[in-house]
Amino acid sequence: MAVLALGVLATPAFSQSISLVCRCVDGGVSSNQVKWIKEFVIPTFEAAHPGVTVTLNEFGGSDEALKQQYALDLSVGKGFDVMGFDGFWIPEFASGNLLKPLVDVAGSAVTEWEGWSHISAGIQSIMSYQGKIYGIANGTDVRMIFYRKDILGRAGVPNADSWQPINWQDLADTARIVLRAFPDSAPLQINAGTSMGEATTLQGYYMLLLGTGEEPFMDGKWVVRSQGILDTLNFYKEIYVDNKLGSQRVQLVNDGRDQSFANFRDGKTAMLVEGDWFYRSVTAPGSEFAVENRDEVMGWAKMPAEHPGAGIRGQDYVSASGGTGWVLNPNTAQPALAWELMELMNSKEARDAYMTYQPGIAARDDVPVPNSPFLTETAKALLPLTTSRPNNDDYAKVSEQIQLMTENVVSGAMSPQQAMDAYAAAVTGIVGAENTVDRLK
């Protein structure tokens, strides 16, 4: 079997054990990942390492709860050998000396791994910090507008089967047409508020701000005041406060994200900005929010810039990408064995096997997406347009302020100018004035 050629047979292993953990539960969140680990990874690794036992620890809490558990374990020199990790956590953990670069944990075997030649620098950066690699990404994702062809068609939107807005005004105008046809609907969902956490920052705010040609972190400084921020907040106000083109309530309640999924499933929301996992997981047949006749009634469109050519890098359309992967616990008693497990998990054979459980955009360029025209089409169209979050250790705290800024606007508590001023003060307090820039001066 090809995976036996990874060099793992040379490892002496007598009654050893190795552990891994992820936010995954058999029958629950990331259930397919559990099946892949139990049915492929563990049997393959144990067969190649007689005497070694691999244990999967399934964590069923929230992302934030897992992050807190990691911080607690690592701060006292404990934790599992291999950990599933969100890429945007790495700057915070690395700068806090809770994680180490892979090569510092497992040595030269890391640099000699054949897989690096099949993972682009951009995707490697998802699990990197200050030029050093802390983990291996499973893959990446892209964000877009999902829309209901059937709802747009019944509302009288032209070209409903191949709808593609060319600017923000076009997006809002489409929502107005749907709202006139269905007065009880909430046609447009662009995440906002604190309860949706990072989904507000990346799926909502980023997708708008990139359309103004800006990012939250530019040229080594955090942008605290800018025309792009104001335009983004004014669009939120237009959607949720002035014209009720989306549900203000959904942005503010604790289970708002689930409610937004339910609204799309039930046809109350016709357009929703999300990542590709919305198709491959949230609305997939058999899931809680499965859309009936999904491939007939559901389409996708690129997120337009505020105006054609106004997006980041002068683009007409924008997207944002993140990703999760695996890191090594720097406290592991068996760094070589832990690396060999990670090496196997990210081999072509293992990632090909993973595709049979959960198709997605792979990190490796030699792992195709089988039988998924949607993922093939969206990856081809959106990866050239995408932007990743900054690998900065203040990102997580700034992201919380972004979420609060949007909440202050969509709740009607503040005007866009007031919310931006409050954001500027908060971020300056977090990162220091020398690390900020006011682009309105």
CB atoms within 10 A of CB 137: 24
3-state helix, strand, coil in the chain (%, to 5): 50, 15, 35
pLDDT at 14: 54
Under the banding of pLDDT at 50, 70 and 90, the label for residue 10 is very low
Please tell me the pTM assigned to this model. 0.81
Q: What is the pLDDT of residues 161-192, one digit of tens each?
A: 999 999 999 999 999 999 999 999 999 999 99
Higher pLDDT, 383 or 136: 136
Task: Please check whether residue 387 is in contact with residue 217, taking contact to mean a CB–CB distance below 8 angstroms.
Answer: no
Residue 31: pLDDT above 60? yes
CB 238 within 8 A of CB 230: no
Q: pLDDT category, 384, cuts 50, 70, 90?
A: confident
Q: How confident is the model at residue 17 (pLDDT cuts 50, 70, 90)?
A: very high
Mean pLDDT calculated for residue range 253-264: 95
Instruction: Please determine, for residue 368, whether its predicted confidence score (pLDDT) is greater than 80.
Output: yes
pLDDT at 135 (0 to 100): 97
Total residue length of the chain: 441
| Pairwise CA distance, residues 335 & 330, whole Å | 8
**Are 328 and 105 within 8 A, CB to CB?**
yes
Question: Three-state DSSP class for 306?
Answer: coil
Cα separation of 294 and 68, whole Å? 37
For residues 361 and 139, is the Cβ–Cβ distance under 8 A? yes
For residue 329, give Cα distances in angstroms to 82, 102, 116, 332, 342.
6, 9, 20, 5, 11
User: What is the tens place of the pLDDT at every residue in 67-104?
Assistant: 999 999 999 999 999 999 999 899 999 999 999 999 99
Q: Over range 392-399, report the average pLDDT.
A: 91
Tell me: pLDDT of 393 over 90: no
pLDDT of residue 334: 95
Q: Does position 224 have pLDDT exceeding 90, yes or no? A: yes
